[in-house]
Amino acid sequence: MIVTDTHTHLYSDAFDEDRKGMMARAIEANVTRFFIPAIDSTYTKAMLQLEADFPDHVYLMTGLHPTSVKENYKAELNHVEDQLSQRKFIAIGEIGIDLYWDKSTLQIQKDAFKHQIRLAKQYQLPIVIHCRDAFDEIFEVLETEKSEDLFGIFHCFTGDLEQAKRAISFNMKLGIGGVVTFKNGGIDKFLNQIDLRHIVLETDSPYLAPTPFRGKRNESAYIINVLEKVSELYGLSEEKIAEITTENSKAIFKV
């Protein structure tokens, strides 16, 4: 069995004390493919180091996270463009809109999101979307930017069935993580109405640990708890779910 974690911040300083052990635990649990979303330029060095340390397992994205869209966002977008011109990345992410932490930056968040969608099209890369309290705003941008060559993942999907269908209509797969294991998470109520070809698994480590680790530091090995829950919801073996979601991740990231 091969399990793919499509969204994990393994370079986070939350793992500085035991990164090697944490990676070994994941690989021991058959979690061997890790897709690493960017946040902003302050993490670039740590991401490149992570890749140098685990070259057979990690795949880097580049991008500017919506909560890092501040006054200097144009310089940050230049950094993303620089990176793209220098070497291979597997996606532009995470990008999007977050109105939970700061509503005052909505306009520049939208601008940064659109700009990065266009970069993704230019480089023929998938996007990885971060959406918090901002479904309408995200869909509004996707509506204006949608095209055959725009595709990717709606990371940490927490919407309802209608929003799930809408996200899929924009060529997005749904990133399912710890929230599916939460008692009042909501998505467990309808997830099995969504065809598995639209689903990928993720942890968003070190955030959003699944039950029974809820509230603790998350790590990629805990994706097995997400896999267990998704397998239960669809009535299919964990091996089958791992196989389908890994195939889906290959279709998106081309690796």
Cα separation, 108 vs 123, in Å, equals 22
Structural contact between residues 200 and 248, judged by C-beta atoms closer than 8 angstroms = yes
d(CA 31, CA 57): 9
204 annotated among ligand-binding-site residues = yes
The 82-121 contact track toward Zn ion, x by CB under 5 A, reads ----------------------------------------
Please, which of residues 180-209 interact with Zn ion by CB under 5 A?
A: 204
Rounded to the nearest 10 degrees, the angle between the axes of helix 106-123 and helix 135-145 is 40
Q: Is 198 annotated as a binding residue?
A: no
Task: Pick the piece of the chain touching Zn ion (CB under 5 A) from 10-18, 23-31, 37-45, 108-116.
Answer: 37-45
Give me the least distance between CB of 218 and Zn ion, in Å please: 11
Contacts of 109 (CB under 8 A, 6+ apart): 66, 69, 96, 97, 98
Residue 7 is labelled as binding a ligand: yes
Q: Is 51 annotated as a binding residue?
A: no
Q: Residues binding Zn ion: what is the number (CB under 5 A)?
A: 2
Comparison of 57 and 177: residue with beta carbon closer to Zn ion: 177
| Residue 23 or 178 having the CB closest to Zn ion | 178
Dist CA 155 CA 214 (whole Å): 19
Min dist CB 135 to Zn ion, Å, is: 17
Query: Shortest Cβ distance from residue 94 to Zn ion (Å)?
Result: 5
As measured in angstroms, the least distance from the Cβ of 202 to Zn ion is 8
Candidate ranges 36-44, 95-103, 108-116, 120-128; the one touching Zn ion (CB under 5 A): 36-44
End-to-end Cα spacing for the chain: 17
Strand order in the sheet with 3-5: 3-5, 31-36, 58-60
Amino acid at 246: T
Closer residue to Zn ion, CB minimum distance, 110 or 155: 155
3-class SS letters over 100-153:
CCCCCCHHHHHHHHHHHHHHHHHHCCCEEEEEECCHHHHHHHHHHHCCCCCCEE
Beta strands in the chain (DSSP E): 3-5, 31-36, 58-60, 92-98, 127-132, 152-154, 172-176, 199-201
Q: Residue 77 or 95: which CB sits closer to Zn ion?
A: 95
- Residue (40 or 204) nearer to Zn ion, CB: 204
Closer residue to Zn ion, CB minimum distance, 37 or 210: 37
On whether 65 is known to bind a ligand per the annotation, the reply is: no
Which residues of the shown chain bind Zn ion in the complex (CB under 5 A)?
A: 37, 204
Binding site: what residues are annotated? 7, 9, 94, 130, 155, 204
